[in-house]
């Protein structure tokens, strides 16, 4: 895993926020992406980038997880039916690319945490997962997920 520290611009997105048990992330995420794509398709909008999930709160074992499921959109869009329009915050982020099944994301997160500690960086908020590849088209072993952690420098 190669860790980079980069500046990320704020990102305008169409989003849906859900609180869900960790074991139900997949179905909750699928439902949320469906709602977003329906709202976007309704007005003929094309996504401005790959879909993502943001986890703004710390994950606590046994507690439901807060996630913001989002699709980047044109910054000129200010309102959509049934979904939120917001700008995800920008700033300094540590990034790494996970390649492989989503079930393996935990190992990449652990490697990132170790590398952040080795570099004297500390997370300054919850991570984002940017789903670079479409799992309906890309073989599971080749799926790329960009992980981003805001960091204090």
- For the entire predicted model, the pTM comes to 0.94
pLDDT of residue 62: 85
pLDDT of residue 101: 96
E strand or H helix at 81, and its extent?
none
Tell me: the pLDDT tens digits for 38-55?
999 999 999 999 999 999
Burial tier of 56 (Cβ tally within 10 Å: 0-12, 13-18, 19+): middle
pLDDT of residue 58: 82
Least confident of 25-29, 57-61, 80-84: 57-61
Residue 86 bridge partners (DSSP) = 13
> Token digits for 39?
């709202």
Interatomic CA distance for residues 110 and 133, integer angstroms: 22
Tell me: the pLDDT tens digits for 76-88?
999 999 999 999 9
């Amino acid at each position: 895993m190669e860790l980079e520290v980069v500046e990320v611009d704020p990102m305008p997105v169409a989003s849906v926020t859900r609180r869900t048990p960790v074991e139900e992330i997949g179905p909750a995420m699928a439902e949320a992406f469906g709602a977003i794509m329906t709202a976007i398709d309704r007005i003929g909008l094309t996504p401005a980038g790959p879909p993502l999930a943001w986890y703004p709160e710390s994950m606590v074992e046994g507690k439901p997880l807060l996630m913001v499921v989002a699709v980047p959109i044109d910054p000129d869009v200010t309102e959509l039916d049934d979904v939120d329009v917001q700008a995800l915050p920008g700033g300094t982020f540590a990034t790494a690319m996970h390649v492989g099944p989503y079930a393996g994301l935990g190992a990449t997160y652990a490697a990132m945490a170790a590398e952040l500690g080795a570099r004297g960086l500390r997370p300054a908020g919850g991570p984002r997962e940017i789903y670079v590849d479409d799992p309906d088209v890309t073989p599971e072993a080749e799926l790329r997920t960009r992980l981003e952690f805001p960091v204090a420098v």
